């Protein structure tokens, strides 16, 4: 997802060597120090600062996606060089590293690149697991996740010189910063549930907003799952081997702040998505509820357990729909 951004016409505010001031950083998080120059390109002393109240003036059409996570602010620098097109650096400061990961997960396109000389401790990958990319590059655009910062570094002109400058800026950005693990909820999706189905790793997305969910898998215009900043969700697709391209089913798991919030969301989902089927009674003694229904595009099923609900959507039959939520690896508090 590439946001179009205008960089003219905003006031500049002081910054600490092109980074967030110490008062804006959590304890122990090192400052981001951008070099003054990158090859022949030079940045201004101070960035343009964008917050939730000005983000829609800065970009056209993509502000909702950033605000769908726990957004703090954006710092934008334009590196300029005589006779060359600009390089734009955008630093999105989020409330938590999970939110920064979520922004990267909106689009896994591009080539995975390693910006550090070695993978540092805390990558959050168990032995034998493929690590999630922390930086992706393609067509002059480098996107990366570094602790609670999501960054976009974009060269307007695709030349070897510009690519080298973009990569050097990316390396400077991650230098000395923590390498926290991806969100734990990613582990919930079954890696495999039947031999004839394969997990599409490139469809995995972490989110908190129904607007973000609809960019990854369109469920409906209304926020029928009561998604907000207090919730977290993961969605991904599975494809049937040897089937027609593009035909896949979707897994979605949402983790709420409490079992009560999860039950309220499930009741809302029934009212909007399954109006002909009443929601399970709130007085149900068990903390686990499971159901499956035939809908317009096939079969869907869900399983509520504690404060989490796992969904299978767009399934070809009832057995497949019920199998996927039953194999969810439930995330523990």
Question: Domains of the chain: which residue ranges?
Answer: 22-174, 184-326
Local confidence band at 20 (pLDDT 50, 70, 90 cut-offs): very low
pLDDT at residue number 86: 97
pLDDT tens, 31-58?
Answer: 788 999 999 999 999 999 999 999 999 9
Average of per-residue pLDDT across 211-233: 96
pLDDT exceeds 60 at position 3? no
pLDDT at residue number 1: 35
* HSE-up of residue 282 (Cα within 13 Å, Cβ side): 10
Residue 243's alpha-carbon distances to 86, 235, 240, in angstroms, are 45, 21, 6
User: What is 22-174's CATH number, 1.10.3470, 2.50.20, 3.40.1000, 3.30.70?
Assistant: 3.40.1000
Local confidence band at 193 (pLDDT 50, 70, 90 cut-offs): confident
The residue with greater pLDDT, 222 or 192, is 222
Q: Under a CB-based contact definition with an 8 Å cutoff, are residues 103 and 66 in contact?
A: yes
Average of per-residue pLDDT across 105-126: 74
Lowest-pLDDT range, 61-65, 127-131, 214-218, 226-230?
127-131
Local confidence band at 205 (pLDDT 50, 70, 90 cut-offs): very high
Q: Under a CB-based contact definition with an 8 Å cutoff, are residues 10 and 50 in contact?
A: yes
Could you give the percent of the chain with pLDDT greater than 90?
73
pLDDT at residue number 29: 66
Residue 237's alpha-carbon distances to 96, 190, 326, in angstroms, are 25, 11, 16
Average of per-residue pLDDT across 141-159: 96
């Amino acid at each position: 997802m590439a946001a179009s951004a205008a960089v003219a016409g905003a006031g500049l505010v002081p910054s600490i060597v092109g980074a967030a001031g110490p008062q804006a950083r959590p304890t122990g998080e090192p400052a981001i120090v951008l070099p003054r120059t990158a090859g022949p390109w030079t940045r201004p002393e101070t960035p343009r600062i964008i917050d939730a109240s000005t983000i829609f003036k800065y970009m056209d059409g993509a502000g909702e996606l950033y605000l769908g996570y726990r957004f703090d602010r954006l710092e934008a620098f334009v590196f300029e060089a005589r006779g060359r097109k600009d390089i734009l650096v955008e630093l999105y400061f989020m409330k938590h590293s999970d939110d920064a990961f979520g922004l990267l997960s909106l689009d896994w396109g591009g080539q995975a690149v390693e910006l550090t000389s070695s993978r540092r401790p805390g990558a959050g990958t168990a032995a034998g697991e493929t690590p999630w990319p922390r930086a992706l590059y393609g067509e002059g655009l480098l996107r990366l996740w570094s602790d609670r910062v999501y960054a976009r570094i974009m060269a307007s002109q695709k030349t070897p010189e510009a690519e080298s400058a973009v990569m050097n800026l990316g390396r400077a950005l991650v230098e000395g910063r923590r390498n926290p693990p991806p969100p734990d909820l990613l582990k919930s999706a079954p890696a495999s549930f039947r031999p004839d189905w394969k997990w599409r790793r490139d469809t995995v997305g972490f989110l908190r907003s129904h607007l973000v969910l609809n960019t990854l898998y369109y469920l409906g215009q209304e926020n029928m799952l009561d998604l907000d900043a207090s919730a977290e969700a993961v969605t991904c697709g599975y494809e049937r081997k040897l089937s027609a391209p593009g035909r896949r089913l979707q897994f979605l798991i949402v983790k709420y702040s409490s079992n009560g919030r999860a039950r309220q969301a499930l009741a809302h989902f029934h009212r909007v998505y399954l109006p002909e089927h009443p929601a399970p009674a709130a007085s149900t003694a068990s903390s686990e509820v499971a159901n499956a229904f035939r809908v317009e595009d096939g079969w869907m099923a869900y399983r509520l357990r504690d404060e989490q609900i796992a969904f299978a959507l767009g399934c070809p039959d009832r057995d497949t729909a019920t199998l996927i939520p039953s194999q969810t690896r439930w995330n523990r508090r």
